[in-house]
Amino acid sequence: MVDEPPREHKTQEEAFATTDPGAGGATRASTDDPDASSLVLPAAGYEIGAVIGRGGMGEVLTAKDLRIGREVALKRMRSPTPTRDALSRFLREARIQARLDHPAIVPVHELNTDEAGRPYFTMKRLTGRTLAQRLADDAPSHRMLRAFVEVCLAVDFAHSRGVVHRDLKPSNIMLGDYGEVYVLDWGIARVLDQPRSAETDRHEAQAGTDIDTLDVNTRSGVLLGTPGYMSPEQIRSLPVGRASDVYALGSILFEILAGEPLHPRGQHAVGSTLGHPQAWPAQRKGDDSVPPELDALCAKALSEDPAARPTVHDLAEGVQAYLDGDRDLEQRRRLAAQQLASARDALQSGEPDARSTAMRRAGRALALDPQSADAAEIVSSLLLAPPNIMPPDLEQALDDYDRTQSRHRARKATFAYLTILALFPFAFLLEIKSWTMVICFYGTVLLGMLLTLDAQRVGRPRIVAILVVSLATVVLFSRISGPFMLTPIIIGCMLVGLTAVPWVHQRRWLVVGWTVLAVMIPLVLEWTDVLPRTWAVLEGATVTRSNIVHATGEHGPALIAFALIAGNLIFTTLLGLMGLALNRHRERAQRLTLVQAWHLRQLIPGETATRPWMT
C-alpha cells in the first residue's frame, strides 16, 4: 500500500509471479464490428513485486494490475490455511476499508483469492512519508496541522458510518508527495453497530493485528492498539467508542505541538496513560510557542473522561479556526511590513509633515503586528525624542498649552498682588511721612495686578511691562523698610513668578540681570543721594530707617515692631505658597506625562522598565 524501501525481496521467480483471480488467460472482447474481431483484453491478474509491509497474519506487496496496467498495493494473508477467525478478520478489514469511501481513506479495488486459495485485496498504492517520519524531521508545524485537520475529517467520516479506527498514530498517517493525506491500517477497526461480546473481544485480542505496515507495536499483550496512543478506557478493556479515537488524535496533536510524544514508547506507555492521561503541550515544551487555543483544545481531547472530550468534528473545527486565524495573521504581517516601509520612507523624505506621517504609519504597522520590533523602535523613537523642527500643528498645540499655563500662573500672581493690596488699610494705623511714596508703591502693585488680569484674558503675559513694573515695585518697597529688610523677600516673590514664564527662564541672563538691578538700584540711588538713605552702619551695627513710616509716639515702636513681624510672616508665607502652587502644578503635569509615557510603552513590544524619558 505504501512505497517504502522493501523489507524483504522475493526470489527472482517469485518476484514476477502472477496472481490470477479468475479463469486465467486472455479474454476476447465482444463486438458487432467484424473488423474488431481480433481485439483481445489482457489476462486478468497481478504481477507481484516486493514486500513493503508485514504483520502477524498478513503482508502488503507492490503489484501491477496486468489488465489495467496500474500500480497497486496488494494485501494478502501469509498462511495458505488461515484460521476461521483470522479469515473473518481479514475479510472484515477489507470490507470496512471499502465501505469508507473518502479521499483520505485508501480505496479498495478488488477482493479475491489467489491460486493458492489465499484471500487478498488490492488498493491504491501510495507514495510519500508518514507523519511519524515528518515529525522526526521537524517538519513545519503548520503543514502538520493542516494534515491533522484532514485526518480528523476522515475519522469523522468513519464515525458517521459507525466505524472506530482504534489504532490512530503518526505512523498510520501518510502524507503524500502532492499534498494528499491518508489514514492507514483499519485492521482493528470496530463497527459500532455490530453486536459485541467478551468472546469476540477475546478472539480479536488473541489474533492480534492483521498488519502494521510501518510499526510492530500495535499488538501489545492482549491490547488492541498502540500503547502511547490508546485511550485509558481502551487499555482497561472498557467499551470503546468514538471518544477513543479522539484521545488518539489528541495524542497526535500533542506530539505536533510539543515536539515529543505524549507518553513514552513501549510498555511504559500503559502506566503513563493510566497514571497521567492528560497533559498540556505548552507545559511540556516550556515556552510560549504553543498557541493557547490549541493548547487548551489538545488538553481537552486528552481528558480521562471520554464524555469530556470534544467530537472529532469539533477537534477539526478548532484546529481549522486557528489555521484560518493564522492565515489572517500572515496577511496582517504583510500589511504591517508595507506600513513600516512607508513610515521609513516618510522619515527620509524630510517633508514638514514627515514625522506625523511616519508616526501614523508606524502606529498602523504596530497595530497590525504587535510583535514587530522594527515598528516598535520607530514608534518609541518618535514618541520619546522631540523633533528638531516642530511641525506646524505641534507648534500650535504647544502654543495652546503655553497659553493655558500662562493663565494659570497669572491667577496665582493676581492672588499675590491682592494680598499686598489687602494690607493698604493698615497704613492708616501708622504715622506716614510720605503718602506720595505709599500711593506710588500701591500704584505699581495695582498696575502689576492689572497686567496679570490681562495675561489671564489673552493667555500671554506682557513680559517687558511686567519686568519694569516688578522692578519699580521692589524699588518703592525698599523705601518702607530699607534694602535689607523685607525687600529681599519681595524680590524672591517676584523671581518665583517671573521664572515660571518660559520666555524668561529660557534666558538666564535676563533673570540674573533683573535680580542684580532689583538689588542694586535702591543702593545706587541712595549712594548718589537721589533717594534718602535708609540704612547705615553705626558702631558695628546696621541701622535701618524707613523713608515712609515714623516710629514716634507712645505706641510707635510697638507698631513698627508689629508691622515688621507681620510683614515677615505675610511675605515669607506668600513666597512659600507661590512656590508650592507652582511646584504642585509642575509635579502634576510631570506625573501625567510619565503616566502617559508608561501607558504608551506598554503598547510597544520589547520595552522594559527602563525609563530614559525621565529627567
Question: 497-513 pLDDT, tens per residue?
Answer: 888 888 887 888 988 99
Residue 79: its pLDDT value, please?
Answer: 83
Residue 14: its pLDDT value, please?
Answer: 43
DSSP label at 8?
Answer: B
Residue 290: its pLDDT value, please?
Answer: 86
The CA R_g of the chain, rounded to the nearest whole Å, is 48
The tens digit of pLDDT for each residue in 354-389 reads 777 888 888 888 888 777 778 878 877 777 677 767
Q: Check: CB of residue 563 under 8 Å from CB of residue 430.
A: yes
* Helical ranges in 482-555 per DSSP H: 487-499, 502-505, 508-527
pLDDT mean across residues, the chain: 80
Grid cell at residue 42: 489482457
Is 601 or 26 the better-scoring residue by pLDDT? 601
**Helix (H/G/I), strand (E/B), else coil: 47:** strand
CA-to-CA separations, 35 to 39, 41, 223, 330, 472, in angstroms, rounded: 9, 16, 63, 64, 133
The tens digit of pLDDT for each residue in 231-251 reads 999 999 888 999 999 999 999
* Helical ranges in 369-391 per DSSP H: 373-384
Q: Is the pLDDT of residue 592 over 60?
A: yes
Question: What CA–CA distance (Å, rounded) separates 79 from 186?
Answer: 20
Neighbours of 335 (CB within 10 A): 15
Cα torsion 275, 280, 281, 286 to 10°: value is: -100
Averaged pLDDT, 577-606: 73
| Residue burial 15-31, b: 16+ Cβ < 10 Å; e: rest | eeebbbbeeeeeeeeee
Question: What CA–CA distance (Å, rounded) separates 291 from 437?
Answer: 83
* Helical ranges in 178-241 per DSSP H: 198-207, 232-235
Is 297 or 6 the better-scoring residue by pLDDT? 297
Helices 242-258 and 141-160 cross at an angle (nearest 10°) of 180
Q: Is the pLDDT of residue 128 over 50?
A: yes
Q: Which residues, in sequence order, are bridge partners of residue 64?
A: 47, 71
The contacts of residue 541 (CB under 8 Å, 6+ apart) are none
Predicted model pTM = 0.54
Percent of the chain with pLDDT over 70: 82
Is 522 or 19 the better-scoring residue by pLDDT? 522
Q: Is the pLDDT of residue 274 over 50?
A: yes
Residue 11: its pLDDT value, please?
Answer: 37
Cell 475479510 found at = 91
Q: Is the pLDDT of residue 16 over 90?
A: no
Q: Check: CB of residue 138 under 8 Å from CB of residue 76.
A: no
Q: Is the pLDDT of residue 34 over 60?
A: no
Q: Is the pLDDT of residue 458 over 90?
A: no
User: Which segment of 373-382, 474-483, 595-604 scores lowest on mean pLDDT?
Assistant: 595-604
Q: Among 88, 145, 141, 142, which Cα is nearest to 119's?
A: 88
Which of 396-400, 410-414, 510-514, 578-582 shows the highest mean pLDDT?
510-514
* Helical ranges in 222-280 per DSSP H: 232-235, 242-258, 268-275
Residue 376: its pLDDT value, please?
Answer: 79
Question: What CA–CA distance (Å, rounded) separates 141 from 9?
Answer: 36
The contacts of residue 493 (CB under 8 Å, 6+ apart) are 416, 571, 574, 575, 578
Instruction: Give the 3-state secondary structure of 454-500.
Output: HHHHHCCCCHHHHHHHHHHHHHHHHHHHCCCCCHHHHHHHHHHHHHC
The tens digit of pLDDT for each residue in 307-328 reads 999 999 999 999 998 888 766 6
CA-to-CA separations, 27 to 34, 42, 309, in angstroms, rounded: 17, 7, 55
DSSP label at 105?
Answer: B
